[in-house]
Amino acid sequence: MATEATPPLECTAEPPHLFTIAGRVRLRNGVLVTLRRIDEPYPPRDVFITSRELKMGYENVYKGCFVCVDSGLKENAIALPKGDVEAGLPPT
């Protein structure tokens, strides 16, 4: 599991929740990314990104903010840069 430092990620809520990629592992059909909240204590959460999402022509993959969903707020997105998601992982 690669655990190099990445810049903070933000969700689209106001004020935004801040996250960092705490770990990543390549699986058969994608990448399992562990997100850790850095602005307040919160349990880390695993987010699965499919190979199809990574092959799309966009710079980022968008996933729902689990902190917003857990709080019952309107779902907001976290933009995960593809380069950060795949950093340090073996090629497919």
pTM of the model: 0.85
* Domains in the chain: boundaries: 9-86
Tell me the average confidence (pLDDT) per consecutive run of 10 residues in the chain, 92 residues long: 67 94 94 96 96 92 94 91 90 75
Separation of alpha carbons 51 and 35, rounded Å: 18
Listed residue (19, 34, 32, 85) closest to 56, CA to CA: 85
Structure tokens at 81: 């840069």
Percent of the chain past pLDDT 70, that is, above it, reads 93
